[in-house]
A = this chain, B = another copy of it.
């Protein structure tokens, strides 16, 4: 049942190294659908739904009239269309906004709506698809996941995660080289992003696939106990002098308080999430006060989510695939769905692009399962490493100019 019309795509939520690869996939898919006479043009909304509401649209077939630019786009971090943090209220609560959306959709004859984002963005997709369905406007809304946190349900892993994991594991491996040059006892704490799920912190353990890995890994899936931490570090220091601790920003004490909360203002982001940044510093002072050896903490901060210069080829390839897949699914009649990556059985890693009903996904979080965390709660099991390993495989053939990776910027 063919639906003719235009399409629009937007990016939302925190940047990743792969969200533009998915945009490239949507553009490639839309170009094919155009050749088939299904899609007229593909608009990009600037700054996600915020820009859509302002009718700030750009014709992406114009912008990417030179197909070589798509390759550059795939190696460009963050969201080329801009992003936003706006989460739509329900249409009962915010009638005007939904009316405005519908008006703009009609005005531009938009029948396909692709939204690339994380958990909160999938919520927007869900609401929009329900609203359109209940207002007799045929619109196909497809969510395309991205998040470095890897915490979306129904998909084996999320686009953007593999590249962040590759940067984290590479950096941890390099820091292990760095701290091992001295002979005195020293603890180095690497704080890694991940508010509710420890996937990215777990990926620090991948350094062990090609040499030494981190000595200790603490995820938000386990309660953080100060005494156990001190005991763990002391035990490792008996064995060798340079200890590397990977810790998630989201670890909490038994009372439910974030470990990093002590040094934070308690500020909350627009989604009501507590804003964290001080976990490494708190662990640093625990070691300083209770063990007294040299200690430093390194917060990977923004760098871990935008380090396109060491993207995972597996991640970027799959990110393009889910983007293309979204267009295919929509033109075939699907709506209210999120694209997924299914890992296939077999000794060799391989995947198939799938999709899932978005109502089962939005607002739920997939945490690291018990079998990937060791009994002591301070390390990653072989099963965990085997799950993570294939996701960081391969490197992009990057274009450089003036010694720096080339980026594509939508003017």
A residues apposed to B, CB below 8 Å: 11, 15, 47, 50, 76-79, 82-85, 166, 169-171, 173-175, 177-183, 188, 206-207, 209-211, 277, 296, 298-303, 305-310, 312, 389, 392-395, 398, 400-407, 409
Q: Which residues of B contact A47 (CB under 8 A)?
A: 181-183
Docked-complex contact A84 and B409, CB < 8 angstroms: no
Q: Give the most central of A79, A188, A312: most B CB within 10 Å.
A: A79
A-B contact pairs, 19 of them (CB 8 A): A11-B181, A47-B181, A50-B183, A76-B177, A78-B177, A78-B180, A84-B182, A166-B403, A169-B403, A169-B404, A170-B405, A175-B303, A178-B306, A188-B302, A206-B403, A209-B402, A303-B303, A310-B310, A389-B402
- Total copies of this chain within the assembly: 2
Name A402's closest neighbour in chain B (CB-CB): B209
The interface residues of chain A, by DSSP majority, are classed as: mixed
Name the contact of A181 in the complex, choosing from B78, B402, B405 (C-beta under 8 A): B78
Name the contact of A177 in the complex, choosing from B50, B180, B298, B306 (C-beta under 8 A): B306
A104 to chain B, nearest CB (A): 18
Q: Which residues of B contact A409 (CB under 8 A)?
A: 177, 211
Docked-complex contact B298 and A302, CB < 8 angstroms: yes
Name the contact of A394 in the complex, choosing from B181, B211, B403 (C-beta under 8 A): B403
A210 to B83, CA, bound (A): 23
